[in-house]
Chain A
Amino acid sequence: MLTVWIAVAIGVLIEGALIVTIVRFRRRRGEPVGAPVGRHGSTPIEILWTAIPALVLVFLGILVVPLIFETAAAAPPNAVKVRVIGHQWWWEFRYMQGNKVLFTTANELHLPNGRAADFSITSADVIHSFWIPTMFGKRDAIPNHSNDIWFTPKNPDPNATVSYPGQCAEFCGPAHSLMYLNAIVEPEAAYDAWVRHQESKAAPVVASALVRRGEQVVTQGSCAGCHTIDGTAAAGQVGPNLTHIGSRANLSGPQLAANTPANLARWIHNSSDFKPGSHMPPQNLSKSDLAAAVAYLESLK
């Protein structure tokens, strides 16, 4: 913010000097013009107006350089560790403990209020950029390269659950504009409950014929080729992990679509409807199979 105020002050000064100059020295009608003479220069003035901006910039530099090192410092040891993997055009989140993956989810991130969150960021395909604007700056997700960024989310009301939408900030192809994510910052207790739930395997199938049929369609059909649902035969590594998709509030992010049966059905039928160029091919399921699949997925709370 200080940089902004310094910039505004400098701007007002220089623009002001320009306006004062051209008004004061404008050619008046009828005045004789004379030879084009005038001061060629002045070494003291040149030194002065080189030194003063230099000092202002040195001042800024002294303030900024320590900040650069501070933001690059290691995260506190109790930080939540998340491996962020950018894909065309969705976000994979692997919650880690050391080198062990606790669980994998997609697009929706939960974080405990007041505790540092440490992100190790990479990409599975092209360069993306992980950005939650209202929370912190961005860091690029680059294939064959790992980037780190950490910050401590702090809700104004420590008991509230607040949603911080984010999106990809480095052009990555046709659906770049729609590569959303959502970070939900909640009290520590709620966060712990969410973590424990995510670590569990897929919810057992309830005694509903539709949902059982849906389990068959999803875990034994083409879906399993790309998606993983822990505890079932579906172990595909291409698309988002769907183990607890029923508990996600949105498809992709709140900016795109709420996670309703109607939207999910539309997504499965033709994801390009929502994300042009999506790599998930349209699924040619019969109406009943589609309804079953949706019912099953929504049951995966």
Chain B
Amino acid sequence: MRLLAMTGLVLATLATPAISQSSGQGDIAVTIYNNNLALVQDTRRLNIPSGRSVQTFPGVSGQIRAETVGFNAADTGIVEQNFDYDLLSPAKLMEKAVGETITIVRINPATGKETRERAKVLAANGGVVLQIGSRIEVLRDDRMPTRVIFDKVPSNLRARPTLSVTLNSSRGGTRPAQLSYLTSGMGWKADYVALFDENAGKMDVQGWVTLTNNTGTTFNNAKTLLVAGTPSVNGQSSRGGRNNIRRAGTESANRESLGDFYLYPLAARTTIANAQTKQVSFLDVTGAPAQKAYEFSNRWLGTQREAQSAATVLQFSSSKDGGLGDALPAGTVRVYMKDASGQPQFIGENTIGHTPMGSELGLKTGEAFDVKVKPTVTERRRLSSSKWRSVMSYEVTNAKSTPVTVSLIQDGLDFYWSDTRIVSESIKSERRSSNSIVWKVPVPANGRTTVTATFETRF
């Protein structure tokens, strides 16, 4: 009899693996948003009996947002949806066994002889207190090797957080059922590789979608769709940082869209493994026009003791004419340039936000070694209680063998909300806004240009 029970169990334990080998997932479709959010649609074939039944769903994301679960199957209504996250562990098992009877097997360390007894768990506080017959003992108080065998596991203790749905079906039979939920732990961004040819004024750009899966779950053979947008989550929309758009575009990209978000479907089904970073190409443009510019921005009354490098800015467009000709999802642009031996070398990177087609972009790729600006407040004079005169001088130097033009920006003209007047300036400035002006300073090769300006302010 005992042997039968044994073999039966061996069969049972060994047969189950073959079944649970599959992840339990059905036909998977994943829609991934930028802000660490994904919508998973999992269509499984379920055998739903007539009447009430409970279905559990293994293979859902480890970071499922249980409150967003939707379930849909023909001729079936949902009674309730449960998300059990009381996890099975040795401690929980012992805790739940209080009042129950367990088997303990004591092994004599000298002889290996086993003594088997039934014991009632009285408490599991700090240590485990047992009642064996009429004796009260603390488990392994004598440090003797002792096996503890529990007859059963409480049904609500799970190996992993488990989603279950109680259904009421009007008929029995196998039918497709769609499970959909939101999960965190998956997100994507774009990574661009830009190879800039300064002499030709052109660049080649490849765009890659980079998606990451840290949900703890592998999604097998999933139909994948990427949404370039950050929908509000819990009523909170994330506001991005710098987007480096100089002028937002007004062109529509030839891509499918969802509301205001562009969609980037992956061409083929793919397996998104857990802990995987996956990149798929979405953009490949050669010979797009691009040029380099120098910019230096000085804060109000900023003086520098040592000349500071001007920023090198890469300017290009996402326009159809003379640009990349696509809407650009947010991400990092890494810029490369060929060195004297023809090998591409990294010259800097920057981020872009979601960029509409037709936009003009200006990415600061780094600081120029040879182009520097030394701003100095040469004079501050009080003319009256509400009138000050500030004289600024900016020494722009160029150690390159070619002439350059530097956009020299003086910021902070709205200093203390005062109106600032330019009394005199050595070259004509252009007003960018009430707060800043820009001088386009031509600097000869291996030379210098000094810009001076006198401002009148209230303070």
Q: Real complex partners, A and B?
A: no
Q: Which residues of A contact B (CB under 8 A)?
A: none
Query: Interface of B with A (CB < 8 Å)?
Result: none
